Amino acid sequence: MQGLYHSEKTMEISISENKINDIKTWFVNLPWYNIVLFLAVFLSTVAIGVSLMNGWIIAYGDAQSHLNIPKRIVDSITPGLAQLGGIWLPLPHLLMLPFVKIEILYRTGLAGSIVSGAAFVISCLYIYRLVWFITKSKITAFVAFLVFALNPNMLYLQTTALTEPVLILFFILSSYYFTRFIAITLKNKKLVDTEERARHKEFLYLVFAAFFAFCASLSRYDGWFLVLIESVLVIFVYLPINKYIKALKEKKFKAPFILIREKFYIGRGTFNKIQGMFVLFSVLAFVGILMWFVWDGLILGDPFYFTDSNYSAKAQQQAWLKRNELPAVHNLPVSFDYYFFDSMTNVGVVIFAVSLVGLIVYISKNNKLFAYVFALILVVPFIFNVFTMYMGQSVIFIPHITPSNFEWKIFNVRYGILMLPAAAVFYALLFHYLKNQGKLILIIFFLLQIGLYGIGYSKVMALSDGTEGLSASKNTDADLFMKKHYDNGLVLMDDFARSVNIIQSNIPMQNIIYIGNKPYWPVSMKEPERYAKWIVIQKNDEVWQNIYEKPDVRGRLYKYFNKVYTSPDILIFERMNA
Amino acid sequence: MKSFLACLFLIIIGALIFGAVLKGIWGNIPAESLKDKTEYSLRDRGRYLLTQNLIEHQTFALTREQANLAAPDAGYYKGKWFELYPPGLSILAIPFYIVGLRFNLSFVATFVMGGIFAIGILIFTFLIARQILKMPYWASILASIIFGFSSNSLGYSTSLFQHHASAFFILASFYAVYQYKIHKKWGFILGFFIWASYGLVIFLDYPNAILMLPVMIYFLIVSINIKKVNDRINLVFRPAIIITSVFFILITALHLYYNYVNFGSATKLSGSLIGFREGVDKALDKGGSLNDNLKKLSQKKNPVNSFKETSIANGAFELFIAPDRGLFIFSPVFILAFVGVFYAASRMDLEKGTLISIAAVTIFFYASWGDPYGGWAFGPRYLITALPFLALFVSYFLSVNSHKIVSKIVAFLLIGISAAISMLGAVTTNATPPQSEAVWLNSHYQTGTHYGIQYAFDFLMSGKTSSFVYTYFLHNRMSLLQYYELLLGGVMVVFTFVLFVMPVLGLIRSAPIFRRKSVPDKVSPAFVPVEHIRGAKGGAAEREIIPFERKYHARLVSLRKNDGN
């Protein structure tokens, strides 16, 4: 007992402080940027390999469609840029153009993987650079990279032709340059004599931010919201906010009247500056959006085709609404819940919780305009997605909160991945602020999250959506039939209904007649035998409505074609004289 | 001395209240008569039966009849029936059962164990609040009694659930790690206790392996220290953490041996056995060999599958907000715990971080659990392990805002509501149906069954009680409602004294005329200007000093500076 009571012996390892400092210096001076580049390429390649071997690259129906669009531009029966269509924004498809030309890359989906993988690698580099810029700590920046790059949902999505990785890339790039623009602008505001060099940078960063916002606006509609928010913030940062706050503090309720009387303290010089920078940003950033309106107007005859047509997301939501399975529409708390849990499951529950704490700590420790603006930019996707769900423009089903009586529990879950950059940044910032023991705990949390994926507690929901959710491509017997029996000739089908999987059935794209092939399509709707050797009809699709449901055209169908395949939903006809 | 008196106060008040709501039936109750006599609340009889079995028949296997009584917490393996939980709690209850047996009170005496653990929790909560979080006496006592008397834990403190024992060992281990950290002496004894507790809590309930993990990480962190001596950095490691783990290994070995002997494999847990009702019903429905069918069913069951991220939204809703189980409905005072955590976050240290982590891990774990309802229960019974830790932060919030009377009034109201609901569950039943089950019963059988608080209230109004004292000694002297009001009134007097009177007494004692010349050793950070804690000046920091004390503290701070503090 006496022995137990006395001071216990301890084990000690003693190292000279100089040696520690040497190791520390060596560690900090490692070529972290190159390490990030190497790891990002390595992770991307391994993930693509795994995805390819398991057939996950083209698991999503949308991924296949994203491959088909650029393929039609180069290999369709009527090739050309008009094949871009008017619903999905064009930039990801244009980026895939050089790769889809190579048949093997198109058939395996690797054409999309190359674009998304490259987007992932550059995103990793710029996440690193963004956090380095905020903290000036390479280790913190590396932590942000790890959180971003080791996310299994992100790793999966960057193997596919889906457009999220491309949007994330331009979102991060625009955010990075916009953050630098904000930082230097706020710094310059404090200086009496602004150095010319700093002004030059202010201008340069804004142009870069605008350019990448322009790219984002041509990648996904989320980018439009980014452009809008950034353009408002361009005005905001030049306003004399401190004077407003001071007026509010001192005059309280009288402050608005005083601000109006004083013309919001905006002098001639400030007004000119705001005007100049806003125009500079807007001309570049909004031009993508404007181009899209013009494109839809010229090619499809309606500038609002992307939102008004039968193929738009909005039109698709109407079907859910009729089934009373659109719980988020016009219900802000439910919209918020859906995207909150969607972000959580994409980011990882532990990482998400810690990054929320990181956001709070960052704001509380940096109670300045810059911190608020920076945080706002990163959470733009959250605001956008809540808004679109509230408006009924998009739908997400997630098993966490989708009512049990709904037919589908997983749909569009991948939208939540757009919050990953924010989560990675705020996780890293919390890591930066904590002392050694806190840093150790965050490392444990990170490993815990990986463990939770490992034991199956957390599912890789983006993958589940592609393999078992509503977003999964339908592999039907009709695919197998066409793969086996298709020899040559043109195939008439409604590609939007995805009645036959073009990629997996090995039908050459130049042999497909779909709604975008004029004059082949409209002629075939009246004279189906004119061009097509094969006709694939799915119940209620365009071919069904225009041929099968019209007695006279149906008569021609049976006159010239044999029905060679029948299933409850799909019929396949082959021309008799073939 | 003050701490000793405070602990004595907690023991007395705990013994009185827990004694008054103690559940039980007179006599040495045999298994066959248990069901009829446990009509309204004693659904926790499975573990009692196992204790009885261990004494009477020296076996862990239950008879078919006992399994039927223990259902749904009974499982089947190779012709034998077992408790689905590990047997730790039933083994701990053996001494209580034996003592009770001698006085013809085996059932009640066994249930007394829960009350003793509850009193232990009160004491350790006080000690942690006082010695680790450095809260004033009134706030430290308040943390204890908020857990004890104004949380749904009250209804479980005198019954044979694992929650109080688990919370006790986790809390005590945390305190032991802190003592291990600040004292170089007794390191081995504290290490033995911590490791033994870890082994034991797993033997009480498997999820405790995860719930106590933050304490073990804390233990690891404090065992490693980095010191700078002259120009050298010394990494100091206390080997006690390794050596003392032998206790954990021993207990775990016993646990594995128990699994091996009873279930054929050391790694086969009792929780993975096929549940009694499910097994029998399904097996009988299918026809054929009962054993074969059960074998097939038991292979499909994996308790880890119940732990999913997708359950977290429903789980969190159920544990916090749902009308049939939510913590904020049954014990709204715990809303303040989250505000307290927010306050604590700005002065975070390893101890606060660990305390928050224990609560967070418990919430996270049970929110992810497929069945957050806890069967027929009163409030979120799975959160009981987290409640002492949350109660600490309720008090932390109040001690930081001790000068704001509005905070205290709001807290008092919330405490009052929480205590009234908790006492309701304690004197009536801790077995209320989940909302979905009540709805189902009503739609199929038109039973008019309520759920949650209303269900217990129906019991109160119809005079049904599980209280041993009331049933056998007081039912002729007063109605159940009067008994409830009496107990609630007593509890509220205690809260009023602690929340409003004790701080004033403390202020009077700290006034200059009563001041001793020496400076007190322990001073609450809530009463020390924050600029001396964090180097900050002005702002919220100064608001924390009560004007009455300002002069005293200026003197105190200067004395502390002179002492080299």
Q: Are residues A321 and A412 in the same domain?
A: yes
Instruction: Tell me the mean pLDDT in the region B378-392.
Output: 96
Residue A476 Cα distances to A97, A503, A575, B183, B234, angstroms: 28, 13, 22, 71, 67
Residues of chain B in contact with residue A452, where contact means CB-CB under 8 angstroms, are: 309
Q: Does B149 score more than 50 pLDDT?
A: yes
pLDDT for A197 equals: 60
Q: Are residues A379 and A525 in the same domain?
A: no
Residues of chain A in contact with residue B217, where contact means CB-CB under 8 angstroms, are: 441, 444
DSSP H/E element including A536: strand A532-538
Residues of chain A in contact with residue B231, where contact means CB-CB under 8 angstroms, are: 16-18
pLDDT for B24 equals: 84
Sign of CA pseudo-dihedral B353, B354, B356, B361: positive
Distance (Å, rounded) from C-alpha B441 to C-alpha B462?
Answer: 20
Q: Are B21 and B154 in contact, with CB atoms under 8 Å apart?
A: yes
Residue B524: pLDDT band by 50, 70, 90 thresholds? very low
The neighbouring-strand residues paired with B229 are B232
Residue B378: pLDDT band by 50, 70, 90 thresholds? very high
The count of structural domains within chain A is: 2
Q: Which SS3 state, helix, strand or coil, does residue A578 take?
A: coil
Q: Are B523 and B498 in contact, with CB atoms under 8 Å apart?
A: no
Q: Are residues A421 and A513 in the same domain?
A: no
Q: Are residues A500 and A409 in the same domain?
A: no
Distance (Å, rounded) from C-alpha B203 to C-alpha A482?
Answer: 61
Distance (Å, rounded) from C-alpha B264 to C-alpha B78?
Answer: 10
User: Phi/psi at B75 (nearest 5 deg)?
Assistant: -130, 165
More confident residue, A436 or B165: B165
**Amino acid letter, A349:** V
Interface of A with B in 399-458 (CB under 8 A): 399-401, 436-438, 440-441, 444, 452, 455-458
Residues above pLDDT 70, as percent of chain B: 82
Sign of CA pseudo-dihedral B93, B94, B97, B102: negative
Span between the terminal Cα atoms of chain A, in Å: 99
Q: Are B388 and B332 in contact, with CB atoms under 8 Å apart?
A: no
The verdict on a CB contact (< 8 Å) between A8 and B346 is no
Nearest CA in chain B to A398: B310
Q: What are A530's two structure tokens?
A: 């004119």
pLDDT for B541 equals: 39
Residues of chain B in contact with residue A15, where contact means CB-CB under 8 angstroms, are: 232-233, 235
Residue B276: pLDDT band by 50, 70, 90 thresholds? low
Domain boundary among A410, A443, A473: A473
Q: Does B564 score more than 60 pLDDT?
A: no
Which parts of chain A sit beneath pLDDT 70? 1-7, 191-198, 578
Q: Enumerate the H helices of B230-370 as residue ranges.
A: 240-243, 245-263, 276-286, 290-300, 312-320, 327-330, 335-345, 350-367
Q: Are residues A401 and A550 in the same domain?
A: no
pLDDT for B534 equals: 40
Q: Which SS3 state, helix, strand or coil, does residue A472 take?
A: strand
Q: Which SS3 state, helix, strand or coil, does residue B237 take?
A: strand
> How confident is the model over B236-252, as pLDDT tens digits?
889 999 999 999 999 99
Residue B34 distance to chain A (closest CA, Å): 39
> Measured at the alpha carbon of residue A101, what is the angle toward residues A100 and A103, in degrees to the nearest 5?
80
Q: Are residues A481 and A453 in the same domain?
A: no
Instruction: Tell me the mean pLDDT in the region B325-341.
Output: 96
pLDDT for B263 equals: 85
Q: Are residues A539 and A571 in the same domain?
A: yes
The neighbouring-strand residues paired with B98 are none
pLDDT for A291 equals: 95
Q: What are B343's two structure tokens?
A: 């306050």
Q: Are residues A460 and A489 in the same domain?
A: no
Residues of chain A in contact with residue B357, where contact means CB-CB under 8 angstroms, are: 441
DSSP H/E element including A533: strand A532-538
**Amino acid letter, B68:** N
Distance (Å, rounded) from C-alpha A334 to C-alpha B321?
Answer: 16
Residues of chain B in contact with residue A9, where contact means CB-CB under 8 angstroms, are: 239
Q: Are residues A455 and A388 in the same domain?
A: yes
Of B233, B240, B313, the CB nearest to A20: B233
Q: Are B113 and B96 in contact, with CB atoms under 8 Å apart?
A: yes
Instruction: Tell me the mean pLDDT in the region B107-117.
Output: 93
Residue B189 distance to chain A (closest CA, Å): 7
pLDDT for A395 equals: 92
Q: Are A570 and A548 in contact, with CB atoms under 8 Å apart?
A: no
The verdict on a CB contact (< 8 Å) between B308 and A457 is yes
Q: Are residues A373 and A497 in the same domain?
A: no
Nearest CA in chain A to B365: A457
* Structural domain includes residue A449: yes
Q: How many residues does chain B have?
A: 565
Q: Is B33 exposed, middle or buried (0-12, 13-18, 19+ CB in 10 A)?
A: exposed
Q: Which SS3 state, helix, strand or coil, does residue B266 take?
A: coil
Residue B28 Cα distances to B24, B34, B36, B100, B116, angstroms: 11, 10, 15, 8, 20
Instruction: Tell me the mean pLDDT in the region B382-409.
Output: 94
Residues contacting residue B228 through CB under 8 Å, at least 6 positions apart: A17, B234
Q: Are residues A458 and A527 in the same domain?
A: no
Residue A509 distance to chain B (closest CA, Å): 40
* Structural domain includes residue A415: yes
- Tell me the whole-structure pTM to 2 decimals: 0.84
pLDDT for B282 equals: 58
pLDDT for A261 equals: 80
A21 reaches B (C-beta below 8 A): no
Residues of chain B in contact with residue A334, where contact means CB-CB under 8 angstroms, are: none
Range of the domain at A469: 310-473
The verdict on a CB contact (< 8 Å) between A8 and B238 is yes
Q: How many residues does chain A have?
A: 578
Distance (Å, rounded) from C-alpha A406 to C-alpha A400?
Answer: 13
Domain borders along chain B are: 2-427, 525-562
Taking alpha carbons only, the member of A220, A200, A217, A370 closest to residue A282 is: A217
Residues of chain B that touch chain A, judged by Cβ-Cβ distance less than 8 Å? 184-189, 217, 221, 226, 228-229, 231-240, 304, 307-314, 345-346, 348, 350, 353, 357, 364, 368
Residue B529: pLDDT band by 50, 70, 90 thresholds? very low
Q: Does B429 score more than 50 pLDDT?
A: yes
Of A5, A11, A457, the CB nearest to B185: A5
* Structural domain includes residue A89: no
User: Phi/psi at A402 (nearest 5 deg)?
Assistant: -65, 130
Chain A interface, best mutation among B310, B347, B363, by max A CB count within 10 A: B310
User: Phi/psi at A411 (nearest 5 deg)?
Assistant: -160, 130
Q: Which SS3 state, helix, strand or coil, does residue B86 take?
A: coil
Can you tell me the ipTM of this complex? 0.80
Nearest CA in chain A to B237: A11
Distance (Å, rounded) from C-alpha B150 to C-alpha B495?
Answer: 10
Q: Is B11 exposed, middle or buried (0-12, 13-18, 19+ CB in 10 A)?
A: middle
pLDDT for A479 equals: 87
Distance (Å, rounded) from C-alpha B366 to C-alpha B282?
Answer: 28
* Structural domain includes residue A253: no
Q: Are residues A436 and A565 in the same domain?
A: no
pLDDT for B425 equals: 94
Residue B536: pLDDT band by 50, 70, 90 thresholds? very low
Nearest CA in chain B to A453: B309
- The interaxial angle of helices A32-54 and A138-149, nearest 10 deg, is 0
Domain boundary among A411, A445, A473: A473
The verdict on a CB contact (< 8 Å) between A12 and B313 is no
Instruction: Tell me the mean pLDDT in the region B559-564.
Output: 52
The verdict on a CB contact (< 8 Å) between A16 and B232 is yes
pLDDT for A320 equals: 84
* Structural domain includes residue A172: no
pLDDT for B64 equals: 75
Of A6, A401, A456, the CB nearest to B313: A401
Query: How does DSSP assign B142-205, residue by residue?
Result: HHHHHHHHSSGGGGGTTS--SHHHHHHHHHHHHHHHHHHHH-STTHHHHHHHHHHHHHHHHHH-
pLDDT for A121 equals: 98
Distance (Å, rounded) from C-alpha A542 to C-alpha A525?
Answer: 9
Chain B interface, best mutation among A2, A400, A435, A453, by max B CB count within 10 A: A400
Residue B310 Cα distances to A447, A459, B358, B364, B367, angstroms: 20, 9, 22, 12, 10
Rounded to 10 degrees, the C-alpha dihedral A413/A415/A416/A422 comes to 160
Q: Are A107 and A507 in contact, with CB atoms under 8 Å apart?
A: no
The verdict on a CB contact (< 8 Å) between A14 and B353 is no
Domain boundary among A419, A450, A473: A473
Distance (Å, rounded) from C-alpha B352 to C-alpha B559?
Answer: 28
Query: How does DSSP assign A478-517, residue by residue?
Result: HHHHHHHH--SSEEE--GGGT-S-HHHHT--GGGEE-TTS
Residue B315 distance to chain A (closest CA, Å): 10
pLDDT for B280 equals: 60
